[in-house]
Structure 1
Amino acid sequence: MNNTVSFLVTACIGLVGAFLFQFLHIPVPFLLGPMVAVLILSHVTKWRFYWPKALRNYSLIAIGYSLGAAFTGDILKNMYTHIPMMTFVTLLTFSVSLLFSWLLTKFAKVDYPTALTSSVPGGLTQILALAEDLKGINLTVVAFFHTIRVILIVVLVPFIVHIPALQGTTSTLPSLAMGTSTTLPIWLLVVLYIFACIVAYRLFKRWRIPAATMLGPIVVTIILNVFVGIPAFDIPEWFMMLCQLIVGTHIGLMLHPEHLTHKKVMLPLSVASALALIAVAFLMAVFFMPVVENTSIVTGFLSLAPGGIDQMGIVGHEVHADVSMITMYQVFRMLIIYLCVPPMITYAVKRYRAK
């Protein structure tokens, strides 16, 4: 079976897995579906699978661009006055993550860099991409933990925000305009941002900056969109689904279930860590956010919930919460994750190898 046939077989299996998960209403179907389908069939069949890594890289560049485009000038201006509270809740969330990373190391015998990456709250696509870029991380363990967390968050968070007792006051922060008008033709914006993101990726990689595939596009998009004034364009939803499918298929081929040891300990720890992060976010939303930020409990909870910007934003829109506040908090945590976590984990990997 040559590479072309193997590639087509792999693509078909990933696509079937994506549509199956979508039909079953499983969270993040175009990432988890291909990942699970390719993972299973690559281990139970003798078929030859092939998936070019360049596809994964360019898909992550597109995802990095979409994350950078979330940082609008209005959001960054409003962030300035909310930085103390956002920093406090982010540090509190990371403290819970550090606790569970220690428990994972102690009771499941997982190396600390992998345990830390498994416990960091962030979007599934982003964290898995980050874990793969950082050498020495057990990708199977990271994927297991974050998949369990995403499923619990997607199932529990919408249920919690629809509790009648939580419906109350609304936030006073005005809604932010997410779009920007421009006289530049769309094709020119597309070409400009593609060129800038690829150059940023290659420069970050040459400079050996961790997670260069996503961090480079994020940084250059923020610079061009916010500080230079060249407005970002919207990526079609189908294209983002395609990028997730490509990344999910790639990750499925990278996973090795035989490396997942101490399963009886890992499952309870993964569930407990996800529930702990959700509980911390809920308590902060009830007792602190209404007082400090003058938000509703629902808005505060979605702002602090350890999910992705897209998922929490969709839920917030459905329950008429303050989407701008939710976006600010989620974007701020994402910024901290991508600026601080890669160097932290890289340092932990070096220390771990030295020992």
Structure 2
Amino acid sequence: MIFTPITKLINIRKQSQLPFVETLLCGLLGGFLFNLLNLPLSWMLGPLTAILIWKLLTKRDLYWPVSFRNGGQMLLGYSMGLSFTIASASQIVDQLPSMAIITILMVVFGLAIAFFVSKLTGINIPSAVMGTTPGGLSQMVVLSEEIKGADSTVVTFMQTIRMLTVIFIVPTLSIHAFSSGGTQPSKPTIDLVTQTEYGSFFQVITVLAIVLFITACAVRFKCPTPWIIGPLLSSAILTVSGFETPQLPPIFIVLAQLCLGVYLGLGININMLKNWKKLLPFSFISGLLIVGFALVLAYGLHMIYPITMTTAFLCIAPGGLPEMGVTAHTVQADVSMVAAYQLFRVFFILFIVPIFLRYLFGRQDVLEESVKAL
């Protein structure tokens, strides 16, 4: 009797080994193919595409440990934090008003698109609003469960299509449209891919302890995306304070992208909605419109501040912090500025937008009940 739980745990692990190996091989194959074809973000978009196609063709259950996802986010967060300096921190503080204005404009534009999508497709406004709001996929799905009238299945589908549109189009534009022709970052940044100074054993142990402690605090206090924010804040604080933070070997960046790409691919389920064929074109077009609006705002930001168009676009692009951070590394954009804008939008959408949406749709429910009473 005592060994029964242990036996069950061992059996579960054995059953998950084969799906894990299958998932890993599929992700590696996708990464190698995309890298061979010189496609953008090959080690993130390659595994994502391979996993998605394999799932659709075989209908097999794949497995990817949560620890791998969290580990990949920690590596990306740490590498992004290394680009912060005292100068970049001062520049970020100066641009806080612009961050607020641009984030509000993006949210308002998403609300306008949601109104038309609701009218054309027949889905209710709360679901349309949650599906077009430029936030993270998992964050919007969780938030939709707290909003009255929102269908989490519809929200998941719309956010999935928007996410795919953004993470395939934005890197392509950033690499081939804005970075060609000798475009240089607005100011020197740390080249994390070619950096070879990995630090002494004492430095590595000290930094590792600090990163784990701050990340544990971020998880404990339920910060948004804690596995990336914790390491990012850790390395940023250490770098700004003058501590010699060790760089990551290039293979770690590849592994981080692989872990993230596989995770994103597993999280996509196209068949989650019965009328997905009707909703698909509207979701795709709304994603394109949001990216186009981000381009317009990016051009204005580029004209106002001394930053490149690439950096400005990645700052505003409605993708997730990890995805835009990886793209910023690839095109040698100002990673610290991109991380600052993306973090600001994450916190704004998670803490400010829910208050507005609960007030708005709560008030609609009250009005509907009043009309029925009459």
TM normalised by structure 1 equals 0.73
Aligned 1:168-183 pairs, distance under 5 A: 175-176=187-188, 178=190
Distance 2:246 2:128 in 1: 35
From 209, 230, 245, the counterpart of 1:195: 209
CA contact (8 A) 2:51 2:266 kept: yes
Aligned 1:1-355 pairs, distance under 5 A: 2-45=15-58, 47-104=60-117, 107-108=120-121, 109=123, 112=126, 116=130, 119-120=133-134, 127-128=136-137, 130=139, 136=145, 139-158=156-175, 160-161=177-178, 175-176=187-188, 178=190, 185-226=199-240, 228-260=241-273, 261-282=275-296, 285=299, 289-290=302-303, 292-293=304-305, 304=316, 308-312=324-328, 314-315=330-331, 323=333, 326-327=334-335, 329-344=337-352
Distance 1:297 1:42 in 2: 37
**Structure 1's 142 and 223: CA in aligned 2 closer, same or farther, altered over 3 A?**
same
**Structure 1's 162 and 189: CA in aligned 2 closer, same or farther, altered over 3 A?**
closer
Could you tell me how far 1:274 is from its partner in structure 2? 2.9
The percent of aligned pairs where both chains have the same amino acid is: 20
**Structure 1's 77 and 101: CA in aligned 2 closer, same or farther, altered over 3 A?**
same
Which shifted more, 105-114 or 257-266? 105-114
Cα deviation, 1:172-226, whole Å, max 9, x if unaligned, reads: x7x3464899x99433333333333333333222223332222222333333332
CA contact (8 A) 2:110 2:129 kept: no
Could you tell me how far 1:140 is from its partner in structure 2? 4.7
Distance 1:276 1:194 in 2: 38
Letter in 2 for 1:293: Y
Distance 1:162 1:251 in 2: 26
Could you tell me how far 1:49 is from its partner in structure 2? 2.8
Could you tell me how far 1:104 is from its partner in structure 2? 4.7
Q: Matched residue of 1:234: which SS?
A: coil
Could you tell me how far 1:75 is from its partner in structure 2? 0.3
Cα deviation, 1:65-103, whole Å, max 9, x if unaligned, reads: 223333322200223333334443343334323433454
Cα deviation, 1:305-334, whole Å, max 9, x if unaligned, reads: 55624435654x5xxxxx5xx546423312
Q: Matched residue of 2:260: which SS?
A: helix
**Structure 1's 55 and 304: CA in aligned 2 closer, same or farther, altered over 3 A?**
closer
**Structure 1's 35 and 338: CA in aligned 2 closer, same or farther, altered over 3 A?**
same
Distance 2:250 2:65 in 1: 23
Distance 1:112 1:209 in 2: 25
Letter in 2 for 1:148: T
CA contact (8 A) 1:153 1:274 kept: no
Letter in 2 for 1:144: I
Distance 1:297 1:259 in 2: 37
**Structure 1's 120 and 114: CA in aligned 2 closer, same or farther, altered over 3 A?**
same
Letter in 1 for 2:162: F
Ranges of 4+ aligned residues in structure 1 off by more than 6 Å: 132-135, 295-299, 348-355
For structure 2, the residue ranges without an aligned partner over 5 or more in a row are 1-13, 146-151, 366-374
Q: Matched residue of 1:2: which SS?
A: helix
Cα deviation, 1:130-153, whole Å, max 9, x if unaligned, reads: 568878465554232111123222
Q: Which residue of 2 aligns with 1:320?
A: none
CA contact (8 A) 2:315 2:339 kept: no
Distance 1:31 1:216 in 2: 21
Distance 1:299 1:251 in 2: 24
Larger radius of gyration: 2
Q: Which residue of 2 aligns with 1:124?
A: none
